[in-house]
Amino acid sequence: MKYSLAIFDMDGTILNTLEDLKDSLNFALTQNGLPIRTLEETRRFVGNGIRRLVELGVPENSSKGTTEKVFECFNEHYAVHCNDKTRAYHGIAELIKRLDSLGIKTAVVSNKSDYAVQTLCKDYFDGLFGFALGLKDSIRKKPYPDSVNLVLERFNIKKENAVYIGDSEVDIMTAGNAGIDCISVDWGFRTDAELVNAGARKIVKNMKELEKEITKQ
């Protein structure tokens, strides 16, 4: 097989986290006397980390102080409520098990805060992924390739034998910056048109198609 390592994004790729992100954003906005956001607005804001979600969620021209208060409030709420409505996409766990049986290593790389990545991986995929990495102060967030490079080093895998799977333009850019292939999924937080406009070369519509792409010779 061409790929011996499959690296997955989290939000919109292996987990549908949108409702919990919206609820924590709106809690933080309300606590600070600011207007709330719709699910569709939240969908557009997700993909580049919690801080960016908050920056886009607060009204335009909000002060840095206000944005920071909302960010802190969001983190406190999300740490407790990150798993209220979140659900794994159907078939993901089974796919990871099949990849493992074929000798393909798997990992998660996300711009979501590391505390949430570790919590959610344990809750939904305990022991399935070989490694999981969220946003840390010591690592530049996607689309910088730092986190992907760390995974490649950890597993001692060459770039040509690794693939990144994600649902957004950030994931496409991350894979490109890391010099590895990318498979985009259409069940996440971006439309097919948005993915194509972002430069997606391969878009899959279900787990069967995804497995076929990862395990191709």
What is the CATH number for 77? Answer: 1.10.150.240
**Chunked in runs of 10, what are the mean pLDDT values of the chain (217 residues)?**
95 97 98 97 91 96 97 96 96 97 97 92 96 93 96 97 97 98 97 96 97 94
Q: Choose the final residue of a domain: 81, 98, 133.
A: 81
Same-domain check for residues 115 and 38: no
Same-domain check for residues 92 and 157: yes
Beta-carbon-side half-sphere exposure of residue 29 (alpha carbons within 13 Å): 20
The per-residue pLDDT for 69 is 98
Same-domain check for residues 105 and 68: no
Same-domain check for residues 114 and 46: no
pTM: 0.93
Sign of CA dihedral 63, 64, 65, 70: positive
Same-domain check for residues 107 and 197: yes
Count the domains in the chain: 2
One-letter amino acid for residue 143 of the chain:
P
The per-residue pLDDT for 9 is 97
Q: Reduce the secondary structure of 159-196 to three states and give it as a string.
A: HHHEEEEECCHHHHHHHHHHCCEEEEECCCCCCHHHHH
* Structural domain range at position 191: 5-16+87-214
Same-domain check for residues 107 and 73: no
The per-residue pLDDT for 1 is 78
Of 48, 43, 1, which Cα lies nearest the Cα of 22?
Answer: 43
Same-domain check for residues 196 and 157: yes
Same-domain check for residues 98 and 196: yes
